[in-house]
Chain A
Amino acid sequence: MDSEEKKSDSGDRRDFVGKCAAGAFVGAVGLAAAGSLCGLKPSVLPDPSEQFKIGSGQDFPVGSVKVFEKENVAVFSEPDGLYAISLVCTHLGCIVSLNAKEGQFDCPCHGSRFTLKGKVTRAPAPKPLPWFKITAQPSGALMVDKGISVESGTKVVV
């Protein structure tokens, strides 16, 4: 009985050392692998600047709408100011088209609909189209920054 217990005891001890060794091995390889995986995420993204010029105040008479196709942004001019709205559908990133007749944005991919203010009127889009920040340069040129979204309803008076 005694000797048997001893035996299993020493077995446990050997087991423990073995497990430590295996654990250290797995840990080292695992951490190395996890470290290498960081390489998948570049620390600087190769993306172009998200700011672009849209012209000056005179280019936007009240009631006009200008679509910037390359940037996928529409700029609306209303009596109380300008606003820039994203044309990228919040569902899966398709480009919504301005349906002037119905006064709405249509997404071709999964049928989302938005009002001209960006509010979702038909699923599946989960959230409204974002509004972007418009700033005036000292020269009078207007810039839109797609990296900064502002509260819907924030208009800029030029």
Chain B
Amino acid sequence: MSDPNNKPGLLQVLENLKNLPANAKASFSRRGPADGSRRTRAQTVFNNVFMHIHTVRIHRWSLKPTFTFGLGVASAASFIILAVTGIALMIYYEPSTTGAYESVKNITFVVPGGRLIRNVHRWAAYMMVVTVFLHMIRVFYTNSYKKPREFNWVLGVILFVLTLALSFTGYCLPWDQLAYWAITIGANIAGSPVEVTDALGVTHLVDVGAMQKELMLGSKFVGGPALLRFYWAHCILLPVAMIVLILAHVWRVRKDGGLSRPSDITDEDLKGTPIEELAEEAFSEKSRKSYGLMCVVRNKTAAVDRGPERTVMSWPHLFNAEMLIFAVLLVVLLILGLLVDAPLKELANPSVPENPAKAPWYFLAMQEIISYSAFCGGMVMPGLTVVFLMGIPFLDREEGDSGRWFVGDGVKRTTIKTTIVSSIVIIGMLAFTVTFGWLRNWFPDINQIWITIVNPGTVLMSFFVVIAFAVIAKTRSTRLGMTVLFTYFLVSFVILTYFALVHRGPNWDFYWWPSLWPTH
């Protein structure tokens, strides 16, 4: 086909080559030259598959640092850093009992830059656990899980569990003493239903514990097949699930009307967030097609009800904020990675456990309740906690304002009261257990089922469930009831983690300080 506008012969080819950079750029960005107008800035967002998960305009409240503290973005940023460093580590890592330890040692001491990459991977994993946890706290106390965001809260809880699972499976890969005994303990937690089937005397009929354990290890014992399964879960299964759910999570944030925000925002509140002059073109009657599409979101959109004057263009304001968080996080992780090495203990030795054999710090609260009963502390209570967390938005349907910290009548007071009461009760319970022991010490021949059901963990949990019901009965507010339970969960997590970290020594005995541990 000939084009009459074409120049003759090779001249047209030369002309096209001359225009190649400009044309390539235009085809890449799907828009005309960037002239800084609102239209091209909007197009930058919605014409790009990666950016159109953001809205074109964003409410200034969402950019308020003291509302979100950027925790969601920091979690996603940690995940990106983990993915990149993790892919780099996979080049050298070898998932076998004979090769794993050696390859991690090589990464640390032989591969150029390997030590830093491994350190950053480790620190980013810690960072992600922390930011995901804090992000959940932010969403809870700003009352942001309410309709229509219930399902996104559930997705968030699943992401939290996935984060912990990724962390655990990664912890096991170096095949050093830490790794070996972590897998051993994890596998026996999976096998712990045998505690109940044994007590009921039905293990020979249905051995759920052994089945779960075998599925996890691919064998009866911890060895090569187990390492391969953990590697598979850590590098393929869990990351893919994570990516899919992160996308769904972020997409739902947008479709549910952006971040939550209160109904009574004043200009004073928005001080310090970016502001833009109102543009005629963006909100004229002749708005472009894509703006029409932007309205297909539930609830309040950026420009509905509150008026457009409190929104700004996402490009560049939202992206600036995101890049800032990403950059700061990366710098922090690099500094940590340069200063503090990820641990690598001696090669796994199946006959000598570490003493004390402690899990990574974010599992220590669980390890403390596991030290009461493996099945109850390792499966039932964590399971109930996850179910409770997912259930929060369905148990508490109160319509209230959201988007401010501790918004709602009595929420702040209830939080403070619960913090004080639960601190006292939990510390009291720990002191009691350390001093007097528990059922097994008093009745050596007691059936295990009683300890599985009645142990310090379940006693505390039931106590606060009763308190939560009492609060709901008295105040007729499910929001306050949930506040009691969630706050108790946080306080117990913090106290138990601290207690297991500092006050548990060899043989899981109580010590006032690690320096008092007996030396061998």
List B485-507 residues whose CB lies under 8 Å from chain A.
506-507
A109 at the interface (CB under 8 A from B): yes
Of the listed stretches B3-11, B184-192, B307-315, chain A binds: B184-192
- CB neighbours (8 Å) of B184 from chain A are 92-94
> Min CB distance, B468 to chain A, in Å?
27
Q: Are A123 and B219 in contact (CB under 8 A)?
A: no
A-B contact count (CB 8 A): 108
> Min CB distance, A16 to chain B, in Å?
31
B372 at the interface (CB under 8 A from A): yes
Q: Tell me the bound Cα distance from A38 to B221 in angstroms.
A: 19
- CB neighbours (8 Å) of B400 from chain A are none
With an 8 Å Cβ cutoff, the count of chain B residues facing the other chain is 49
- CB neighbours (8 Å) of A101 from chain B are none
With an 8 Å Cβ cutoff, the count of chain A residues facing the other chain is 29
**Interface bits B329-360 vs A (CB < 8 Å: 1, else 0):** 00000000000000000000011111111000
List A70-113 residues whose CB lies under 8 Å from chain B.
70, 72, 91-95, 97, 106-111
> Min CB distance, B469 to chain A, in Å?
29
Of the listed stretches A2-10, A25-33, A41-49, A52-60, chain B binds: A41-49
Q: Tell me the bound Cα distance from A107 to B198 in angstroms.
A: 21
Look across to chain B and name the residue whose beta carbon is closest to the beta carbon of A107: B507
Q: Tell me the bound Cα distance from A89 to B452 in angstroms.
A: 17
Return the contact of A122 from the options B214, B215, B225, B440 (Cβ within 8 A). B440
Q: Tell me the bound Cα distance from A70 to B195 in angstroms.
A: 26
- CB neighbours (8 Å) of B441 from chain A are 122-123
Q: Are A124 and B371 in contact (CB under 8 A)?
A: yes
A153 at the interface (CB under 8 A from B): no
Q: Are B353 and A109 in contact (CB under 8 A)?
A: yes
Q: Tell me the bound Cα distance from A126 to B196 in angstroms.
A: 9
A69 at the interface (CB under 8 A from B): yes
Q: Are A110 and B351 in contact (CB under 8 A)?
A: no
B224 at the interface (CB under 8 A from A): yes
* A46-B219, A123-B372, A127-B198 as given contacts; A109 in contact with B508, CB under 8 Å: yes
A120 at the interface (CB under 8 A from B): yes
A40 at the interface (CB under 8 A from B): yes
- CB neighbours (8 Å) of A40 from chain B are 215, 218
Q: Tell me the bound Cα distance from A40 to B195 in angstroms.
A: 24
List B436-451 residues whose CB lies under 8 Å from chain A.
437-441, 444, 448, 451
* A47-B220, A94-B184, A124-B374 as given contacts; A110 in contact with B508, CB under 8 Å: yes
B509 at the interface (CB under 8 A from A): yes
- CB neighbours (8 Å) of B181 from chain A are 94, 109
Q: Are B353 and A95 in contact (CB under 8 A)?
A: yes
Q: Tell me the bound Cα distance from A69 to B351 in angstroms.
A: 6
> Min CB distance, A131 to chain B, in Å?
16
A135 at the interface (CB under 8 A from B): no
Q: Are B220 and A45 in contact (CB under 8 A)?
A: yes
Q: Tell me the bound Cα distance from A97 to B369 in angstroms.
A: 23
* A47-B219, A120-B440 as given contacts; A93 in contact with B187, CB under 8 Å: yes
List B364-396 residues whose CB lies under 8 Å from chain A.
367, 370-375, 378
Q: Are B374 and A92 in contact (CB under 8 A)?
A: yes
Return the contact of A108 from the options B195, B220, B353, B372 (Cβ within 8 A). B353
B416 at the interface (CB under 8 A from A): no
Return the contact of A95 from the options B195, B221, B351, B452 (Cβ within 8 A). B351
- CB neighbours (8 Å) of A64 from chain B are none
> Min CB distance, B333 to chain A, in Å?
31
**Interface bits B191-229 vs A (CB < 8 Å: 1, else 0):** 010010011000000000001001100111101110000
Look across to chain B and name the residue whose beta carbon is closest to the beta carbon of A45: B219
Q: Are A91 and B215 in contact (CB under 8 A)?
A: no
Return the contact of A109 from the options B185, B199, B225 (Cβ within 8 A). B185
Q: Are B225 and A46 in contact (CB under 8 A)?
A: yes
Q: Tell me the bound Cα distance from A39 to B236 in angstroms.
A: 17
What are 22 A-to-B residue pairs whose CB atoms are below 8 Å? Answer: A41-B211, A46-B223, A47-B220, A91-B188, A92-B184, A92-B370, A93-B184, A94-B181, A94-B184, A94-B185, A97-B355, A108-B506, A109-B356, A109-B508, A122-B437, A123-B372, A123-B439, A123-B451, A124-B451, A126-B195, A126-B199, A126-B451
Further pairs besides A107-B508, A124-B372: 11, Cβ < 8 Å: A40-B218, A42-B225, A45-B218, A46-B219, A46-B225, A92-B184, A95-B353, A107-B507, A110-B508, A123-B440, A123-B451
Measured CB to CB, the residues of B under 8 A from A are: 181, 184-185, 187-189, 192, 195, 198-199, 211, 214-215, 218-221, 223-225, 350-357, 367, 370-375, 378, 437-441, 444, 448, 451-452, 506-509
Measured CB to CB, the residues of A under 8 A from B are: 40-42, 45-47, 69-70, 72, 91-95, 97, 106-111, 119-124, 126-127
